[in-house]
Amino acid sequence: MKKLFVLAMLFIATSTSYAQGFSIGPKLGANITGLNGLQFQDGYNSAYHLGIFAEVKLGDRLGIQPELLWNQTSYKTTTGLSGLYSSLPSNANLKLNYISIPLLLNIKPTKMISLQAGPQFGILANAKSSTAQNIKDAFKSGDVSLLLGVQLKLLAFRVYGRYGIGLTSINDIVSSETWKSRTLQLGVGIGF
């Protein structure tokens, strides 16, 4: 995953010299997260994300947007998880923190609107529970998602909404059960 990030940054640096425009800036927003799996409550919980983005124009209607984010997800367990992982009683609140690297393709039907799609690679930094200190060994060290969304450009501001669909299971306890993330991201960024 580190090699992929280095290659992406090298690609961006190379294409910047040929690009018609480049901007970089901070961003932050809300995550509304859920997890498919029998051991987790249905529904969504709130968390946050913050980081930086770069926007590289490859023409009037096309661009790429790599990002580096601190991404928090939040879940609630059900009674069945404590049988699989003894440190977690039922109805525990979990917070998983990822270092996420989205690589988005921007398609611009107008100057103000970008349709976005691309993969997001997440590296699990830590996992905490409301009842146990660190439960990181219950989850895989990485998560791969597909992001689909819309971004609105208003002067230097970017206002966006995205939906992330987990492509890989993050369950590292029982291989027979699949836990896939679902995330709705709403946020704002400023490009310089």
Q: Does the pLDDT value for residue 15 go beyond 60?
A: no
Amino acid sitting at position 55: E
| CA angle (139 as vertex; 137, 145 as ends), nearest 5 | 155
pLDDT in tens, 42-91: 678 899 999 999 999 999 999 999 999 999 998 877 665 555 555 555 67
Please list, in sequence order, all residues whose beta carbon lies within 8 angstroms of the beta carbon of residue 136, skipping any fewer than 6 positions away: 124, 126, 127
Going from N- to C-terminal start, the domains of the chain cover 2-190
Element (H, E) at 115: strand 113-129
More confident residue, 170 or 48: 48
How many other C-beta atoms can be found within 10 angstroms of the C-beta atom of residue 192? 8
Mean pLDDT of 36-40: 67
- Intra-chain end-to-end CA distance of the chain, in Å: 28
Cβ atoms within 10 Å, residue 180: 17
pLDDT in tens, 120-140: 999 999 988 776 556 787 789
pTM of the entire structure? Answer: 0.83
Give the three-state DSSP class for 128. strand
CA–CA gap between residue 73 and residue 63 (Å, rounded) = 28
Task: Classify 119 as helix, strand or coil.
Answer: strand
What count of other Cβ atoms lies within 10 Å of the Cβ of residue 38? 10
Q: What angle do CA 174, 148, 175 make, to 5 degrees?
A: 5
What's domain 2-190's architecture? Beta Barrel (2.40)
